[in-house]
Structure 1
Amino acid sequence: MFHPPVSPEACPALVLNADYRPLSYYPLSLWSWQDTVKAVFLDRVNIISEYDKVVRSPTFEFRLPSVVCLKTYVKPSRNPAFTRFNVFLRDCFTCQYCGTRSDLTFDHVIPRSRGGQTTWENVVAACSPCNLKKGGAMPAEAGMHPSQKPYAPSLSDLHQNGRHFPPNYLHESWLDYLYWDTELEP
């Protein structure tokens, strides 16, 4: 029976830390099937679950892992990096002035022209129209106040927010590991 080759995008593996939690939620900690197979052969991971797909060589057949767990615990960094993506994630990909989720950029609550700095505590996600409308004005002058006060998020804050934005592809074998600590419905 002919089996078409496995494409590089197909069959990513969910990567769990040694405590069986994903390394990150958003973006979800995924490895390509090639990187996963390499980690298996280097004895860096344990296979938790597998796909039905296999890869073959002339002398070997191997089912592709869908979930792997690192053998050595990787301590997450304590503070998330201050990046545009993490600002958007902290603010749930929502304009902090009007609530839209499109055409996002970021805004300095206290404008740089007024001494505002580019820090967690002064930058919020904003749509382009709101950013242009506010311009270089202070929030009170523009009558525009962010819906939440900007703050430096913890990794836990970003993980929690990331759970609200699942990736386009979720394999059924991943679900037990992605949402194991969410509250169950009665």
Structure 2
Amino acid sequence: MNAHVPQGGWPALVLNADFRPLSYYPLSLWGWQDAIKAVFLERVNIVAYYDKAVHSPTFEMQLPSVVSLKTFVKPTTHPAFTRFNVFLRDRFCCQYCGARDELTFDHLIPRSLGGQTTWDNVVAACSPCNLRKGSFTMQQARMFPAQMPYQPSVTHLHRNGRLFPPNYLHESWMDYLYWDTELEP
């Protein structure tokens, strides 16, 4: 298809078969090419469209802005332990000083003292705080996190993800992104 839209533009919000987003952060989006391919493979239903179409010499199709999967995908119950998910759990904030720049992570019990790289021992920390704490324990460094580390649920990460919406949210997505919030009268 010869499309007159930018390669990275016109993303489609992907909903599960229950019309909930597959993910909030990162938001579950497909490029328009993947959305159209899924339509032709009959894997999704189109829920909403953009006011933009793609066409070939013999075919024209409006670009989908929201699609829902035809088959329900069971969400994972235990999120993967990743740097990104640690930051998301800690709301992209240094747990020692509150800074949001130069984030890394810190082991409460230092690795040099047998500390593990696990949900219960790692917090988001800015580089200056991480360097200042060094290989000391919290007590030795007199540095205590605002929130003690824990293993979050997928629901908790989704809730935190809603606090950091992406730069672009199409109006057709709004009914599906915050479906569990109280409606205004």
Letter in structure 2 aligned against 1:20: F
**Separation (CA, whole Å) in 1 of partners of 2:101 and 2:179:** 31
TM-score (norm 2): 0.97
Letter in structure 1 aligned against 2:173: W
Give 3-state SS (helix, strand or coil) of 1:62's partner.
strand
Give 3-state SS (helix, strand or coil) of 1:140's partner.
helix
Letter in structure 1 aligned against 2:169: L
Contact 2:3 2:55 in 1 (8 A): no
Letter in structure 2 aligned against 1:90: R
Please state how far the C-alpha of 1:78 moved relative to its aligned partner: 1.4
**Separation (CA, whole Å) in 1 of partners of 2:110 and 2:162:** 32
Percent identity of paired positions between Structure 1 and Structure 2: 72
**Separation (CA, whole Å) in 2 of partners of 1:5 and 1:36:** 16
Please state how far the C-alpha of 1:80 moved relative to its aligned partner: 0.5
Please state how far the C-alpha of 1:87 moved relative to its aligned partner: 0.3
Structure 1 runs not aligned, ≥5 long: none
Contact 2:92 2:103 in 1 (8 A): yes
Question: How does 1:37-186 map onto structure 2 within 5 Å?
Answer: 37-184=36-183
**Separation (CA, whole Å) in 1 of partners of 2:20 and 2:150:** 25
**Separation (CA, whole Å) in 1 of partners of 2:9 and 2:144:** 44
Count of residues in correspondence between the two structures: 184
Partner of 1:8: 7
Letter in structure 2 aligned against 1:171: H
Give 3-state SS (helix, strand or coil) of 2:165's partner.
coil
Letter in structure 2 aligned against 1:157: H
Matched, 1:25 2:24: yes
Structure 2 runs not aligned, ≥5 long: none
Letter in structure 1 aligned against 2:119: W
Runs of 4+ that moved beyond 3 A: 183-186
Letter in structure 2 aligned against 1:105: T
Moved more, 176-185 or 166-175: 176-185
Letter in structure 1 aligned against 2:37: K
